[in-house]
């Protein structure tokens, strides 16, 4: 055993040395980021030990996420309520104070057990290895430009320079950010406590999440399979260890590295099947199939994690991956604990019943009110469920859609637990369900309150779908995981039938919850929830500004993204579970065939990496991790001016630059500096503010400032918006052919000039 620890430690040390060679000048900032996320894991180790004490590694990987969530939330809360400013030093001190509180409480606890350090070292090797791999890839295309990267980087930069939260909206400078900005905040939090620049933090955050996208499903599914195979040993070795490891690897691969069958049919074997559109296949095509091929008036989005990791948007749905998988692990741990408590309760009740028979006069039945209060208290104090509720509540802040999705997943887990605990009494089970659901909703609402008090919803209601996906397209996208779910469902029903015929106590649902393996029932529940998430966009959609031609787009995107994650964990478990079991040959044959199809979808990972990052073994193409490195090549006239603002503008003073359309190259100054401008990307602000008339009026006033000949009118507008810096560069000159340079320069001092680009600073 010591030999294995030494071997694992040597591998980890070799990976650290490899990072120094591969990342060159960026190795220091990479290792610093890794050190601080590990430090946050140690901070939360007492919590993880309490929640995941039954796991072999005591939730070592999940402790990193819990530490990030707890530390970041505490610092954010202090800043939002105005008690402590959001600065590097204060954030670090607050984090250390929280760590001291958690560890003081933990050290007072008696009977502490320790994790399997071999498993911990293996976890760390995988986490560091994938973190290094993704960071290495990103160094070949690090730019925070294209798609929605301007928005993501701009939010991060805004919070990095702001000491108050929420920060000002970079594209609507008179107000604060009105978006679920929690994901970008956590990047800013980790950057501030580690003293990392925003330009490096952007890519380090996305590559860290990519690593979590593999190792967290790996850890959870490995533990579920270990629980299934039990703790039996043979010749000193634990049975099922290899199978569990393989299941974890498949789950991590399915969630973070695999694509869908669209890639297989249109990309990998496009020349074989010659389906329409295969000639122009590029890796984003697998996320834009419904409504795009063939073209219809119902264009939808169905992205998945591997695409997000490659493309590099630090968007809410991607950042939240590490939090949602951790929530699922907490729910599983809670279900396991309830099973243990039920076994303990049955033994205790059996002893009490014997004592009652011996001394019947001593035992008097409590009055109903006291029994109700005892029942409520026993079910309210559920530390794991309260932690799950905390996660669910924070999803309102990190990715609002996930609040609804994972409240539902939590509710299904509550039903499972209630019938497992009180299946013999439907009334008690119903009471348990209601009590726990209210508890989760109430605690989640309270946790998110500092955010929701100022957040203005972007939703206009729910509507029935008038367009639906062609059946063959559903089969292409979701046929594989649904087939795995169907096969596993048939297997469970058959297995349950054999067991249930032997004992007919209670109803069938209760018997199913109790007689079947908990890991089987739980993973089936995840698959069932995933199926529901792909079905809902065929029935209803959430209304927003995207109606004509894109009505279902956002709903399908946010729901099926989570379906992909849930299906991925289910497939990793089911493949190993059924192939290794003594099942009929035809069942094993079907599962092996499905496994083969799944392995084909994994080709999406190397294909997309080569498309986006190019040849990562061609070392002369190495650029580094700086997300703003593109400025000099893309905006040679403006780059020096943008960097001047980053060095000289303190806080978040208002700037003025040309407004622009969403997803364009416009508004690059506000995005790259985090400084708020009067108005930026139009469609995004329309979505966030729901006030297009106001946005149009602001556009007209920006036009006036840049082009008017009336000095008094321009000065009035400058005072109205509190503009500190006026930026005139390449995009402004492309936008306006008649800029009144002399008037703009007369408003203040020209603090920067290079070629046709200049910055005017206006005195207070």
Over residues 451-479, the mean pLDDT reads: 91
One domain for residues 560 and 593: yes
Distance, in Å, from the CA atom of 320 to the CA atom of 309, rounded to the nearest integer, reads: 13
Distance, in Å, from the CA atom of 391 to the CA atom of 308, rounded to the nearest integer, reads: 22
Q: Is residue 227 part of a domain?
A: yes
Looking at the chain, the number of H-run helices and the number of E-run strands are: 33, 8
Residue 723, beta-bridge partner list? 654
More confidently predicted of 422 and 560: 560
Q: Is residue 483 part of a domain?
A: yes
Least Cα distance to 680 among 182, 183, 174, 202 occurs for 174
Q: Is residue 580 part of a domain?
A: yes
Is residue 59 a contact partner of residue 48, using CB atoms and an 8 Å limit? Answer: yes
Cβ within 8 Å of residue 355, ≥6 positions away: 362, 363
Q: Tell how strand 237-238 and strand 540-542 pair up.
A: unpaired
Q: What is residue 176's three-state secondary structure?
A: strand
Is residue 732 a contact partner of residue 706, using CB atoms and an 8 Å limit? Answer: yes
Least Cα distance to 481 among 576, 556, 570, 587 occurs for 570
The predicted pLDDT at position 544 comes to: 83
Which secondary structure element, helix H or strand E, spans residue 457, and what is its range? none
Distance, in Å, from the CA atom of 445 to the CA atom of 425, rounded to the nearest integer, reads: 30
- pLDDT tens-digit series, residues 326-360: 999 999 999 998 887 766 666 665 665 666 666 66
One domain for residues 277 and 381: no
Residue 108 CB: number of other CB atoms within 10 A?
A: 7
The predicted pLDDT at position 745 comes to: 93
Number of domains in the chain: 4
Sole residue written with tokens 């402790």 = 63
One domain for residues 62 and 82: yes
Residue 762: which pLDDT band, with cuts at 50, 70 and 90? very high
Is residue 132 a contact partner of residue 22, using CB atoms and an 8 Å limit? Answer: yes
Q: Tell how strand 723-728 and strand 654-656 pair up.
A: parallel
Say what percent of the chain tops pLDDT 90: 74
More confidently predicted of 545 and 739: 739
Residue 311 CB: number of other CB atoms within 10 A?
A: 21
Distance, in Å, from the CA atom of 198 to the CA atom of 190, rounded to the nearest integer, reads: 10
Which secondary structure element, helix H or strand E, spans residue 462, and what is its range? strand 462-464
Distance, in Å, from the CA atom of 294 to the CA atom of 454, rounded to the nearest integer, reads: 42
- In the chain, % helix, strand, coil (3-state, to 5) comes to 70, 5, 25
- pLDDT tens-digit series, residues 190-245: 999 999 999 999 999 999 999 999 999 999 999 999 988 875 554 455 657 889 99
Distance in angstroms between the alpha carbons of the first and the last residue of the chain? 69
Integer CA distances (angstroms), 653 to 673, 721, 726, in order? 11, 10, 11
Residue 450: which pLDDT band, with cuts at 50, 70 and 90? very high
Residues 604-621 as b/e (b if ≥16 CB within 10 A, e otherwise) read bbebbbeebbeebeeeee
Distance, in Å, from the CA atom of 270 to the CA atom of 695, rounded to the nearest integer, reads: 45
Q: Is residue 343 part of a domain?
A: yes
Sole residue written with tokens 């007209």 = 700
Q: And the tokens for 344?
A: 């303990």
Over residues 582-610, the mean pLDDT reads: 93
- pLDDT tens-digit series, residues 567-579: 999 999 999 999 9
- pLDDT tens-digit series, residues 390-410: 999 999 999 999 999 999 999
The angle, 0 to 180 degrees and rounded to 10, between the axes of the packed helices 518-535 and 321-358 is 140
Distance, in Å, from the CA atom of 716 to the CA atom of 612, rounded to the nearest integer, reads: 47
One domain for residues 190 and 48: yes
The alpha carbon dihedral of 248, 250, 253, 259 has a sign of: negative
Q: Is residue 225 part of a domain?
A: yes
pTM of structure: 0.94
Residue 502: which pLDDT band, with cuts at 50, 70 and 90? low
Beta strands in 635-722 (DSSP E): 654-656
Mean per-residue pLDDT over the chain, rounded: 90
Boundary residue ending a domain (578, 613, 648): 613
Distance, in Å, from the CA atom of 43 to the CA atom of 98, rounded to the nearest integer, reads: 8
DSSP characters over 211-260: HHHHHHHHHHHHHHHHHHHTT-EETTEETTHHHHHHHHHHHHHHHHT---
Boundary residue ending a domain (399, 428, 456): 456
Instruction: Look at residue 247 and tell me whether its pLDDT is greater than 70.
Output: yes
Is residue 170 a contact partner of residue 155, using CB atoms and an 8 Å limit? Answer: yes
Integer CA distances (angstroms), 403 to 57, 99, 495, in order? 28, 27, 34
Distance, in Å, from the CA atom of 319 to the CA atom of 309, rounded to the nearest integer, reads: 10
Distance, in Å, from the CA atom of 634 to the CA atom of 310, rounded to the nearest integer, reads: 21
One domain for residues 492 and 599: yes
Sole residue written with tokens 């243990």 = 340
One domain for residues 277 and 345: no
Distance, in Å, from the CA atom of 82 to the CA atom of 734, rounded to the nearest integer, reads: 42
Is residue 707 a contact partner of residue 695, using CB atoms and an 8 Å limit? Answer: no
- pLDDT tens-digit series, residues 292-308: 999 999 999 999 999 99
Is residue 373 a contact partner of residue 435, using CB atoms and an 8 Å limit? Answer: no
Over residues 704-708, the mean pLDDT reads: 94
Containing structural domain, residue 75: 2-141+179-256
One domain for residues 604 and 642: no
Over residues 527-541, the mean pLDDT reads: 96
- pLDDT tens-digit series, residues 261-274: 999 999 999 899 88
Boundary residue ending a domain (435, 456, 477): 456
Over residues 15-43, the mean pLDDT reads: 95
Q: And the tokens for 43?
A: 């901070």
The predicted pLDDT at position 501 comes to: 56
Over residues 277-282, the mean pLDDT reads: 88
**Ramachandran class of 230: left when φ > 0, alpha when ψ lies in -120 to 50, beta otherwise:** left
The predicted pLDDT at position 78 comes to: 96
Distance, in Å, from the CA atom of 313 to the CA atom of 155, rounded to the nearest integer, reads: 12
Q: Is residue 411 part of a domain?
A: yes
The predicted pLDDT at position 61 comes to: 96
Instruction: Look at residue 361 and tell me whether its pLDDT is greater than 60.
Output: no
One domain for residues 560 and 585: yes
Cβ within 8 Å of residue 401, ≥6 positions away: 317, 558, 559
One domain for residues 40 and 184: yes
Torsion of CA 174, 175, 179, 182, to 10 degrees: 110
One domain for residues 214 and 235: yes
Distance, in Å, from the CA atom of 688 to the CA atom of 542, rounded to the nearest integer, reads: 15
Q: How many residues does the chain have?
A: 764
One domain for residues 573 and 720: no
Alpha carbon 123 to its chain's center: 20
* CA angle (70, 75, 78) in 5-degree steps: 125
Over residues 436-459, the mean pLDDT reads: 92
Q: Is residue 91 part of a domain?
A: yes
Instruction: Look at residue 679 and tell me whether its pLDDT is greater than 70.
Output: yes
Residue 504: which pLDDT band, with cuts at 50, 70 and 90? low
DSSP characters over 579-620: HSS---HHHHHHHHHHHHHHHHHTTHHHHHHHHHH--TT-GG
One domain for residues 202 and 55: yes
Compute the radius of gyration of the chain from its Cα atoms: 28
Least Cα distance to 215 among 178, 181, 252 occurs for 252
**Ramachandran class of 5: left when φ > 0, alpha when ψ lies in -120 to 50, beta otherwise:** alpha
- pLDDT tens-digit series, residues 413-443: 999 888 888 767 788 888 889 999 999 999 9
Torsion of CA 753, 756, 757, 762, to 10 degrees: 70
Instruction: Look at residue 746 and tell me whether its pLDDT is greater than 80.
Output: yes
Cβ within 8 Å of residue 64, ≥6 positions away: 37, 38, 40, 41, 44, 127, 212
Q: Is residue 625 part of a domain?
A: no
């Amino acid at each position: 055993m010591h030999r294995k620890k030494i071997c694992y430690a040597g591998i980890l040390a070799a990976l650290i040395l490899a990072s120094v060679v591969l990342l060159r000048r960026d190795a220091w900032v990479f290792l610093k980021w890794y050190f601080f996320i590990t430090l946050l894991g140690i901070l939360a180790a007492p919590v993880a030990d309490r929640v995941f004490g039954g796991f072999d590694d005591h939730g070592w990987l999940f402790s990193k996420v819990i530490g990030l969530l707890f530390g970041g939330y505490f610092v954010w809360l202090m800043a939002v309520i105005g008690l402590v400013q959001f600065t590097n030093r204060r954030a670090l001190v607050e984090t250390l104070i929280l760590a001291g509180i958690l560890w003081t409480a933990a050290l007072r606890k008696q009977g502490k057990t320790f994790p399997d350090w071999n498993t911990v070292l293996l976890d760390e090797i995988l986490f560091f290895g994938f973190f290094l791999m993704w960071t290495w890839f990103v160094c070949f295309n690090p730019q925070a430009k294209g798609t929605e990267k301007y928005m993501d980087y701009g939010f991060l930069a805004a919070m990095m320079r702001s000491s108050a939260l929420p920060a000002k909206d970079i594209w609507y400078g008179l107000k604060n950010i009105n978006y679920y900005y929690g994901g970008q905040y956590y990047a800013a939090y980790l950057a501030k406590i580690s003293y990392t620049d925003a330009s490096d933090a952007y890519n380090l955050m996305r590559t860290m999440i990519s690593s979590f996208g593999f190792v967290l499903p790996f850890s959870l599914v490995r533990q579920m399979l270990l629980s299934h195979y039990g703790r039996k040993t043979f010749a000193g070795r634990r049975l099922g260890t290899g199978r569990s490891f393989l299941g974890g690897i498949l789950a991590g691969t399915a969630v973070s590295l695999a694509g869908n069958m669209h890639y297989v049919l249109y990309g990998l074997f496009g020349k074989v099947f010659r389906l329409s559109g295969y000639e122009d296949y590029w890796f984003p095509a697998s996320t834009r199939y419904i409504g795009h091929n063939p073209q219809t008036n119902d264009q939808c989005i169905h992205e998945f994690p591997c695409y997000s990791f490659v493309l590099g948007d630090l968007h809410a749905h991607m950042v939240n991956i590490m939090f949602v998988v951790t929530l699922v692990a907490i729910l599983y741990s809670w279900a396991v604990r309830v099973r243990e408590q039920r076994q303990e309760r049955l033994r205790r009740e059996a002893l009490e019943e014997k004592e009652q028979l011996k001394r019947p006069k001593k035992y008097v039945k409590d009055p109903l009110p006291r029994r109700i209060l005892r029942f409520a208290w026993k079910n309210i104090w559920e530390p794991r469920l309260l932690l799950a509720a905390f996660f669910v509540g924070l999803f309102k802040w990190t990715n609002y859609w996930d609040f609804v999705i994972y409240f539902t997943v939590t509710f299904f887990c509550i039903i499972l637990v209630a019938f497992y605990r009180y299946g013999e009494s439907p009334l008690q089970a119903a009471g348990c369900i209601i009590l726990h659901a209210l508890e989760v909703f109430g605690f989640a609402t309270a946790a998110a309150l500092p955010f929701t008090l100022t957040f203005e919803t972007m939703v206009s209601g729910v509507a029935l779908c008038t367009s639906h996906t062609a059946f063959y397209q559903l089969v292409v996208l979701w046929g594989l995981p649904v087939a795995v779910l169907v096969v596993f469902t048939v297997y469970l029903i058959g297995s349950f039938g054999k067991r249930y015929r032997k004992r007919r106590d209670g109803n069938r649902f209760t018997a199913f919850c109790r007689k079947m393996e908990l890991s089987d029932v739980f993973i089936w529940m995840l698959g069932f929830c995933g199926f529901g998430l792909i079905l809902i966009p065929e029935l209803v959609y959430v209304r927003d500004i995207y109606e004509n031609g894109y009505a279902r787009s956002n709903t399908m995107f946010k729901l099926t993204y989570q379906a992909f994650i849930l299906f991925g964990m289910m497939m990793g478990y089911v493949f190993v579970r059924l192939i290794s079991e003594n099942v009929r040959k035809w069942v094993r044959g079907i599962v092996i065939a499905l496994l083969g199809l799944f392995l084909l979808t994994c080709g999406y990972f190397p294909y997309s990496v080569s498309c986006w990052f190019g040849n990562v073994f061609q070392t002369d193409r190495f650029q580094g991790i700086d997300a703003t490195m593109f400025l000099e090549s893309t905006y040679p006239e403006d780059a020096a001016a943008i960097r001047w603002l980053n060095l000289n503008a303190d806080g978040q003073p208002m700037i003025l630059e040309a407004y622009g359309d969403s997803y364009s190259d416009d508004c690059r100054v506000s995005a790259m500096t985090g400084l708020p401008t009067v108005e930026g990307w139009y469609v995004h602000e329309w979505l966030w503010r729901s006030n297009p008339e106001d946005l149009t009026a602001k556009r007209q006033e920006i036009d006036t400032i840049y082009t008017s000949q009336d000095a008094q009118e321009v000065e009035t507008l400058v005072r109205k918006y509190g503009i500190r810096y006026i930026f005139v560069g390449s995009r402004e000159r492309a936008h306006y052919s008649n800029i009144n340079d002399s008037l703009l320069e007369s408003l203040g001092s020209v603090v920067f000039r290079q070629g046709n680009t200049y910055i005017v600073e206006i005195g207070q």
